Structure 1
């Protein structure tokens, strides 16, 4: 049995098709103007999930990039301080060698060497108290303003030998260090243990230079102190090598982060963005189809009685 196709049914079907064409054309126009294939989750649920995952990876990568940049700042500060400290300690060693030349120096010359050593010790302490963004780079996780403080104490009080001597104290944290996460499973220490590099208390390099200066003033042979200076020099050079390794690790991480940022952006583009040329072609085809539908509808639908009455 063949069903009867009424004029009203033809009109309703035609209207539905025209509205569908308009909706598709509006969707293509929106994609062409925004450049995005996904404007709401219902456009592509699976693609939306992928885009959200990629954007999460982008945020994590951006944080790693900020961490790596901060790590470079810390490591650069530590490296500069260590190199300056090494140079100062070499100067102190040269002064000690001069002071060890017994019989060739007057007491005035020895006093002058002692004064230079005192100045070198203070310059070393300034390097040991280097800071980055207000944080001491040799004090670990401590929030102390200085990694090494200096106070003066009086010894042999009330005797002819009464004198004031400096006392150096390490104020840094005893354990742990400042770390930065530069990848999902990679962290790097960006500070340096001041107690290991410069020593602590009476064993510090500052106290050592002060003792050498005191020996020079008292006419004591300082030749035996050279091995102590060499021990502190070895500690500094070892830390310089360690910092160089960590610095290289962070620089390599920055290169990897930059490459990952490009990769993630490419992945997001492939999921979210439209092929503009293809979209424009589809839009033109849809416009042609819509115009053709209007023309066909005009010829197909018969005029109603009201049309005749006009």
Structure 2
């Protein structure tokens, strides 16, 4: 017959203390979760969950960067669009003045001089518009590092032209999605024409034609002005389409960010009511363990001798 193993007071004390320590450790873990609001405070809490959380955090940072790029691109394109809209209004005014100047039967030299002076003012205002800046960079200068896209006196383009064969080096773009880049700049020649036949040259010819009273030249310049006006409208349409494209990618990045944040919360964040309940149960369990330990550990001879 095999007898049972001998259980000593020392073994009882050791097991009781070990159980209490495990109980305390579990309570401390729940307390950490309540204090931080996270169920993952160290990799050992959940190795698989930690890997998933790191991957989701990387996606979160990527989506946030796409959002910042989209907002910057929209601000750049917004500056371009507002400038072109104002420029189009000035071109319409210049056209009205040119048509008025063609009415040579009622206009005199003084009236034509006044019209030419206003045309000159419109030309100067348009050059100022063409040198508009965003974050200290000329929006119509391409990727130039100069202060302006146009010479303020001559109206000559001083920026860098866009080359469709090499868009990376000759344009300004923003990455707004995975492998999605949208160009946010518009060079001066694309909006206002080149130095030889562009808007500023046409306005200079109109001013000269008004002062000389040459209606033939004014008629030709009026046709060229209409061409320049249509070019501006096409540029506004192009900028608007790019703005909408970036806005769509921004919405997509926001949706992805919300989705990833929800997934990350499911992995990292605690269920507060559930965790509070677990904490209360753990405290009750610990108190019960203390009471049971007091009954299991019998008084020793020393206790009787006191």
Query: Structure 2-normalised TM-score?
Result: 0.91
Secondary structure, aligned partner of 1:202: coil
Q: Which moved more, 1:237-246 or 1:59-68?
A: 59-68
**1:75–1:247: 8 Å Cα contact kept in structure 2?**
yes
Are 2:234 and 1:232 equivalent residues in the alignment?
Answer: no
Query: 2:185 aligned to 182, 191, 199, which one?
Result: 191
| Structure 2 equivalent of residue 131 of structure 1 | 133
Query: 1:7 aligned to 6, 9, 27, which one?
Result: 9
| Structure 2 equivalent of residue 81 of structure 1 | 83
| Structure 2 equivalent of residue 177 of structure 1 | 171
Stretches of structure 2 lacking an aligned partner (at least 5 in a row): 163-169
| Structure 2 equivalent of residue 244 of structure 1 | 240
Stretches of structure 1 lacking an aligned partner (at least 5 in a row): 152-166
1:1-310 to 2 correspondences below 5 Å: 1=2, 2-151=4-153, 167-175=154-162, 176-221=170-215, 222-310=218-306
Provide the rounded CA distance (Å) in 2 between the counterparts of 1:207 and 1:290. Answer: 89
Deviations for 1:88-135, whole angstroms, at most 9, x for unmatched residues?
111111122122234332222222221121111111111111111211
Q: Which moved more, 1:57-66 or 1:10-19?
A: 57-66
Secondary structure, aligned partner of 1:200: coil
Provide the rounded CA distance (Å) in 2 between the counterparts of 1:119 and 1:298. Answer: 98
- Higher percent of residues as strand: 1
**1:168–1:202: 8 Å Cα contact kept in structure 2?**
no
Query: Structure 1-normalised TM-score?
Result: 0.90
Deviations for 1:240-276, whole angstroms, at most 9, x for unmatched residues?
0011111122222333333333222211211111111
**2:127–2:155: 8 Å Cα contact kept in structure 1?**
no
**1:198–1:204: 8 Å Cα contact kept in structure 2?**
yes
Secondary structure, aligned partner of 1:182: strand
Tell me how large the CA RMSD over aligned residues is: 1.6
Provide the rounded CA distance (Å) in 2 between the counterparts of 1:196 and 1:75. Answer: 14
Provide the rounded CA distance (Å) in 2 between the counterparts of 1:50 and 1:105. Answer: 79
